[in-house]
Amino acid sequence: MDNRPIGVYDSGIGGLTVFSKLYNKLPKENFIYFGDTANIPYGTKSKQELLDITHRIMNFFANQNVKAVVMACNTTSAVTYDSLKNDYDFKIYPLIQTACQKIAELKIKKIGTLSTEATALSHAYKNNIQKFNPSIDVIEHGCPKKWVEMVENSTQNLLENKEIIKENIDILLKENVEKIILGCTHYPYLKEALIEITKEDIFIDPSEFFANFIANEVKITMPSEQKLYDAKFFVSFEPKKFKESSSLFYKVSKEPTLIKF
């Protein structure tokens, strides 16, 4: 039995799409969520910038005495996980590498990914899907940072933003992909706008596979005996805005604690 908390992080509210599922699947676990709102967006940053940021987050979680950290962020899973996975004495769960084992089992020939530019440029989805199933063709598309901004600002339903979403989806639809992975944890917030463009079952949210995998592993390898406190939230900028825009996946009940490091 291990009552130490599990850390979950992203650049903002996107990681709540993963956190909300873990929270429901693991009712006895103690969670700490960190939204790095001072550094958002991650998707346009260099590898060095993302490494510095990820190390600072890992050190924050180390000080919180976590037993595991969930990278609820595609971009840092893609760009930084391989470089730092052995640097800490707690388990680190990367989103893309974990979810792709399951995605590779799909009986399809061509799949598209929508992600940040940094994730697309890393080819993490293509490499990790083809590692398990080389016969799936993977078309990776990097979306403009506006996609993340509209989620953080809750402006995804403005007509001009719906146009931007459609332009990007059309690029993948023209390639005749059979499925589209929402390869940024912010994108499930765009669901309403996405399903106006094409059928809902074309979209795959990898956070579902990811959360199932982690929940099973935590229950077997490091279960907590009891919940000691409800989830604690921290952000690096604008706690009020985080609370206000969070509600679609998890309603944060009080303003997160502001931290700087």
Residue in 20, 80, 113, 185 binding ligand DGL, rule: CB under 6 A = 185
The residue (of 184 and 194) whose beta carbon lies closer to ligand DGL is 184
Query: Does 75 contact ligand DGL by CB under 6 A?
Result: yes
**First vs last Cα of the chain: how many Å apart?**
31
73 is an active site residue: yes
**Catalytic residue (one of 16, 73, 150, 181):** 73
Tokens of 185: 């944890």
Residue 77 beta carbon to ligand DGL: minimum distance, rounded to whole angstroms: 8
Whole-angstrom Cα distance, residue 42 to residue 53?
9
100 is an active site residue: no
The residue (of 41 and 94) whose beta carbon lies closer to ligand DGL is 41
Rounded to the nearest 10 degrees, what angle do helices 124-132 and 95-103 cross at? Answer: 40
Query: Does 10 contact ligand DGL by CB under 6 A?
Result: yes
Contact 172, 180 (CB under 8 A): yes
Residue 43 beta carbon to ligand DGL: minimum distance, rounded to whole angstroms: 3
Contact 35, 235 (CB under 8 A): yes
Query: Does 182 contact ligand DGL by CB under 6 A?
Result: no
Half-sphere exposure (Cβ direction) of 94: Cα atoms closer than 13 Å: 22
Query: Does 148 contact ligand DGL by CB under 6 A?
Result: yes
Residue 73 beta carbon to ligand DGL: minimum distance, rounded to whole angstroms: 4
DSSP state of 43: T
Query: Does 40 contact ligand DGL by CB under 6 A?
Result: yes
Residue in 5, 35, 41, 239 binding ligand DGL, rule: CB under 6 A = 41
Q: Where are the beta strands (DSSP E) in the chain?
A: 6-10, 31-35, 68-71, 91-94, 110-115, 137-142, 179-183, 203-204, 232-235, 257-258
Q: In the stretch 223-252, what mask flags binding to ligand DGL with x, by CB under 6 A? A: ------------------------------
Tokens of 45: 């940053």
Q: Which of residues 83-112 bind ligand DGL (CB under 6 A)?
A: none
Q: Which of 37, 33, 26 is nearest to 7 (CA)?
A: 33
User: What is the set of active-site residues?
Assistant: 73, 184
Interface residue list for ligand DGL (CB under 6 A): 10-11, 14, 40-43, 73-75, 116, 119, 148, 184-186
